[in-house]
């Protein structure tokens, strides 16, 4: 079979690479360094492994350069291009991967291809061996069916845990239901007993004598009368309160009016007294009399002034005469001869007297004027008091009239209040009387009715008890009903069926988990045995004489290596680098032989061939062995190797 490999914009190749022909057997991609051998290998690996990877496969894909990191462009696409295409075309089928923004593979590849069918320093197995790790369990579990069975077991265990919870739930509900059923049975028995008791009480009550209708009528009448009195007393109390409410402001007003009236009366009394005192007082008469006397005196003094002025004129004339004639008789009696000096002396005396009289008269006039002033003040005051008295009398009239009206109203209300009090007293006496009579009749009725009443009380209690029981019966019935069915996955089944199904389901799951445990162990052991059988053949085929034995320990899935001639196990970490290369190559080829599906014919070997020594013949041995097994198994092995002048495929036919 021949396969044509077509690459477009893959890795270092810009544009389309001339198709490479791959054949069954060993195909060595030869080219000088940095021409793109690895890009060819990556392209084939991508085509056969994309698009789905688990965590380990994804890690390997990144290391190989098939996938980029998060938010990085795919490293497989040439830096100058938008998309990369890898195509493997045979007569039978076409396989193609297109990588641009996304990845489209037809048909989809197998992620584990990177673990089983690629031999490179970047693959997981080679890295672990180079790191000295001898734990092989991860690849045994991944590449045998044990991983699938473990995964299935985990799912079954989830179902088992859920089923155990379901069973617990079912058992709990069954216990609740069973308890509720027991309680309901007891309750129904108790209920029957109480119903019988009720019948018995009713029978007894109907056989007792009843109270006469006359007595009941008497009690009813008394009660009505008594109630009517009580009602009237309540009404009276209300009316009394209303009257009190009406009376209070009037009394308050009356008190205020009386106070004001007393005040006005006191003021009037004071004014009247003052007036009376003024009227009764002698001062006015005294003043009048004094004024009259003074007026008389003034009149007399005036007359004296006239007389003295006449005399004075006489003396003045006499003095003038003396001056003319040298002598003059007495001017008063016209006798004798008086000298000028005597006359002048006399005239001076008269003038002095006249001045005194005039002064006296002026004093009297002033005194009279003062008395008139006093008299006028008294008259003014009298007038004022009179006016004030009249005003007060007017002011008193209004309150006096209002007081009379108020007193009349208060008296009327007080009379009504007194009537109410009298009626209240009478009714209270009647109330006591009716109450006494009523109690008497009720006592008589009670004496007759007591046994029946006691029976009815007992009946009431029993009926209440029965009502409570009905509620409890309903609650228990609902509880039983609720616990009678169960919803599982939205399907409702009876509790017994739920128990049956859960029990069966648990048994099925346990059986299948047990089966899976056996299968897991079988797979592991089977895979290890197949591996161990094959690795011996490989060691001999590859002439790796430094190893006596290489095998996997079934108990712990660790690699056991014994050097030729060595008596002890050799830890992988203690091997030399070249030994680890050789060992990892052997292991990877064994993995391919043992674990790769038969329908997968491809094996990629990139970057490991130069580690094998040409001179010792180890490289030839490796190529020969691979060619042999490729022929046997119809594999298409692609190996990258340095050499030649340009990219070309050499088909190695083997020995």
Binding segment for another protein (CB under 8 A), chosen from 222-230, 297-305, 513-521, 589-597, is: 513-521
**Strand stretches in 94-234, DSSP E:** 94-99, 103-106, 118-119
Name the minimum Å distance from CB 489 to another protein: 5
d(Cα 449, Cα 209) in Å, to the nearest integer?
8
Handedness of CA 342, 348, 349, 354 (dihedral sign): positive
Residue 512 in the binding site for another protein (CB under 8 A)? yes
Q: What's the half-sphere exposure (Cβ side, CA atoms, 13 Å) at 645?
A: 0
b/e burial code for range 56-93 (CB count within 10 A of at least 16 → b): bbebbbbbbbbbeeeeeebbbbbeeeebbbbbbeeeee
Beta strands per DSSP E along 83-145: 84-89, 94-99, 103-106, 118-119
Residue 200 to residue 196: CA distance in whole angstroms: 6
CB atoms within 10 A of CB 470: 12
Nearer to another protein, 320 or 514 (CB): 514
First-residue to last-residue Cα distance in the chain: 20
Cβ-proximal residues to 593 (8 Å cutoff; 6+ apart), any chain: 534, 538, 629, 633
- 166 versus 222: smaller Cβ distance to another protein: 166
| Contact call for residues 175 and 499 (beta carbons, < 8 A) | no
DSSP 554: T
Instruction: In angstroms, give the least distance from the CB of 145 to another protein.
Output: 5
Q: Which one, 212 or 494, has the nearer CB to another protein? A: 494
Residue 492 touching another protein (CB under 8 A): yes
Contact set for another protein, span 366-385 (CB under 8 A): none
> Hey, what are 340's tokens?
């000028």
Does residue number 268 form part of the binding site for another protein (CB under 8 A)? no
Cβ–Cβ < 8 Å for 561, 549: yes
Residue number, 163 or 572, with CB nearest to another protein: 163
Does position 491 bind another protein by CB under 8 A? yes
Instruction: Kindly tell me which of 161 and 537 has the beta carbon lying closer to another protein.
Output: 161
- Per CB under 8 A, the list member of 280, 408, 443, 489 interacting with another protein is 489
- State in angstroms the smallest separation of the CB of 156 from another protein: 7
Number of residues binding to another protein, judged by CB under 8 A: 25
For another protein, the closer CB: 401 or 494: 494
Span interacting with another protein, options 22-30, 331-339, 488-496, 596-604, rule CB under 8 A? 488-496
Please tell me whether residue 491 adopts helix, strand or coil conformation. strand
CB 137 within 8 A of CB 523: no
Residue 411 backbone phi and psi in degrees, to 5: -65, -40
| 130 to 169: interface string for another protein, x by CB under 8 A | ---------------x--xx-xx--xx--x----------
Q: Should residue 508 be labelled a site residue for another protein when binding is judged by CB under 8 A?
A: yes
Q: How far is the CB of 150 from another protein (least distance, A)?
A: 9
Helix (H, G, I), strand (E, B) or coil at 333: coil
- Of 417, 482, 505, 551, the one binding another protein (CB under 8 A) is 505
Query: Closest approach of Cβ 104 to another protein, in Å?
Result: 21
Query: Judged by CB under 8 A, does residue 516 bind another protein?
Result: yes
145: phi then psi, degrees, rounded to nearest 5? -80, -5
Instruction: Catalogue the E-assigned strands of 362-425.
Output: none
Note whether 504 binds another protein by CB under 8 A. yes
The contact pattern for another protein, residues 517-536, with x = CB under 8 A and - = no contact, is --x-----------------
Phi then psi for 640, rounded to 5 degrees? Answer: -95, 140
- Smallest Cα–Cα separation from 400: which of 258, 580, 196? 258
> Least distance (Å) from another protein to the CB of residue 125?
23
Give the contact letters, 437-476, x = binds to another protein (CB under 8 A), - = no.
----------------------------------------
Among 20-28, 67-75, 501-509, 537-545, the segment contacting another protein (CB under 8 A) = 501-509
The DSSP 8-state label assigned to residue 28 in this structure reads E
Rounded Cα gap, residues 454 and 467, in angstroms: 20
Kindly state whether residue 56 participates in binding another protein, applying the rule CB under 8 A: no
CA max distance for the chain: 226
Instruction: Select from 169, 239, 497, 549 the one that contacts another protein (CB under 8 A).
Output: 497
CA distance 655 to 641: 19
Q: What is the smallest separation between the CB atom of 540 and another protein, expressed in angstroms? A: 31
In the bound state with another protein, the residue whose beta carbon lies nearer, of 11 and 111, is 111
Give buried/exposed letters for 391-412 (b at 16+ CB in 10 A, else e): ebeeebeebeeebeebeeebee
Q: Does 342 bind another protein (CB under 8 A)?
A: no
Rank residues 498 and 603 by Cβ distance to another protein and give the closer one. 498
**Contacting residue, 211, 267, 435, 493, with another protein by CB under 8 A:** 493
Q: Cα torsion for 11, 61, 33, 583, to the nearest 10°? A: -170
Residue 550: which of 500, 599, 591, 501 has the closest Cα?
Answer: 591
Residue 148 vs 230, nearer CB to another protein: 148
Task: Determine the interface stretch with another protein among 363-371, 490-498, 535-543, 589-597 (rule: CB under 8 A).
Answer: 490-498
Q: How far is the CB of 151 from another protein (least distance, A)?
A: 5
Residue 15: burial class (beta carbons within 10 Å; 0-12, 13-18, 19+) = exposed
Q: Smaller CB distance to another protein: residue 89 or 515?
A: 515
Among the listed ranges 26-34, 215-223, 312-320, 486-494, the one in contact with another protein (CB under 8 A) is 486-494
Q: Toward another protein, which CB reaches closer, 108 or 326?
A: 108
The smaller minimum CB distance to another protein, of residues 325 and 489, is found at 489
Q: Which is nearer to another protein, 156 or 575 (CB)?
A: 156
Q: What is the dihedral of CA 493, 497, 498, 502, to 10 degrees?
A: -140
500 binds another protein (CB under 8 A): yes
The reply on whether position 430 binds another protein by CB under 8 A is no
Out of 86, 501, 528, 626, the only residue in the binding site for another protein (CB under 8 A) is 501
Piece of 61-69, 76-84, 430-438, 485-493 that binds another protein (CB under 8 A) = 485-493
Q: What is the Cα–Cα distance from 4 to 21, expressed in whole angstroms? A: 5
CB of 509 to another protein, least distance (A): 8
> Which residues bind to another protein, rule: CB under 8 A?
145, 148-149, 151-152, 155-156, 159, 488-489, 491-494, 497-498, 500-501, 504-505, 508, 512, 515-516, 519
């Amino acid at each position: 079979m021949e396969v044509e490999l077509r690459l477009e914009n893959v890795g270092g190749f810009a544009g389309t690479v001339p198709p490479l022909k791959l054949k069954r057997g060993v195909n060595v991609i030869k080219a000088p360094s940095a021409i793109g051998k690895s890009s060819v290998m990556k392209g084939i690996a991508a085509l056969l492994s994309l698009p789905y990877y688990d965590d380990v496969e994804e890690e390997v894909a990144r290391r190989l350069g098939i996938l980029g990191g998060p938010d990085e462009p795919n490293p497989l696409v040439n830096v100058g291009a938008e998309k990369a295409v890898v195509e493997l075309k045979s007569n039978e089928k076409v396989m193609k991967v297109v990588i641009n923004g996304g990845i489209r593979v037809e048909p989809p590849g197998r992620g584990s291809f990177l673990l089983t069918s690629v031999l490179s320093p970047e693959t997981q197995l080679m890295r672990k061996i180079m790191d000295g790790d001898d734990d092989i369990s991860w690849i045994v579990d991944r590449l045998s069916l044990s991983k699938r069975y473990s995964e299935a077991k985990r799912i079954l265990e989830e179902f088992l845990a859920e089923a155990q919870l379901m069973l617990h739930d079912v058992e709990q509900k069954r216990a609740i239901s069973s308890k509720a059923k027991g309680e309901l049975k007891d309750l129904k028995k108790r209920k029957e007993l109480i119903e019988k008791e009720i019948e018995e009480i009713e029978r007894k009550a109907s056989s007792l004598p009843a109270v006469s209708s006359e007595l009941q009528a008497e009690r009813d009448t008394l009660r009505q009368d008594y109630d009517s009195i009580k009602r009237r007393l309540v009404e009276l109390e209300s009316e009394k309160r209303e009257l009190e409410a009406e009376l209070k402001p009037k009394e308050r007003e009356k008190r205020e009016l009386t106070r004001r009236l007393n005040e006005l009366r006191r003021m009037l009394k004071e004014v009247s007294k003052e007036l009376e005192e003024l009227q009764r007082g002698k001062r006015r008469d005294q003043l009048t009399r004094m004024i009259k006397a003074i007026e008389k005196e003034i009149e007399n003094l005036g007359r004296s002034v006239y007389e003295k002025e006449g005399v004075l004129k006489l003396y003045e004339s006499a003095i003038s005469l003396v001056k003319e004639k040298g002598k003059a008789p007495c001017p008063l009696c016209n006798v004798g001869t008086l000298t000028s000096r005597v006359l002048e002396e006399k005239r001076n005396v008269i003038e002095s007297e006249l001045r005194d009289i005039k002064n006296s008269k002026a004093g009297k006039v002033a005194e009279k004027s003062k008395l008139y002033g006093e008299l006028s003040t008294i008259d003014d005051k009298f007038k004022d008091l009179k006016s004030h008295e009249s005003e007060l009398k007017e002011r008193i009239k209004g309150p006096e009239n209002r007081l009379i009206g108020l007193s009349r109203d208060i008296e009327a209300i007080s009379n009504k209040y007194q009537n109410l009090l009298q009626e209240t007293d009478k009714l209270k006496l009647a109330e006591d009387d009716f109450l006494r009579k009523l109690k008497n009749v009720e006592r008589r009725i009670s004496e007759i009715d007591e046994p029946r009443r006691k029976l009815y009380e007992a009946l009431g209690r029993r009926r209440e008890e029965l009502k409570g029981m009905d509620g409890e019966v309903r609650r228990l019935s609902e509880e039983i009903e609720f616990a009678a069915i169960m919803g599982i996955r939205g399907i409702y089944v009876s509790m017994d069926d739920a128990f049956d199904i859960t029990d069966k389901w648990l048994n099925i799951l346990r059986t299948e988990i047990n089966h899976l445990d056996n299968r897991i162990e079988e797979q592991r052991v089977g895979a290890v045995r197949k591996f161990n059988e094959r690795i011996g053949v490989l060691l001999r085929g590859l002439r790796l004489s430094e190893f006596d034995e290489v095998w996997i320990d079934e108990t712990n899935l660790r690699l056991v290596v014994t050097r030729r001639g060595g008596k002890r196990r050799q830890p992988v970490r203690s091997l030399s680098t070249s030994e680890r290369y050789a060992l990892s190559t052997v292991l990877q080829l064994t993995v391919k032989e043992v674990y790769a599906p038969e329908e997968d014919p491809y094996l990629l070997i990139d970057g490991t061939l130069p580690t094998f020594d040409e001179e010792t013949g180890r490289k030839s041995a490796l190529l020969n062995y691979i060619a042999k097994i490729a022929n046997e198994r119809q594999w298409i092995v692609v190996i990258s190797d340095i050499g030649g002048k340009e990219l070309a495929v050499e088909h190695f036919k083997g020995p």
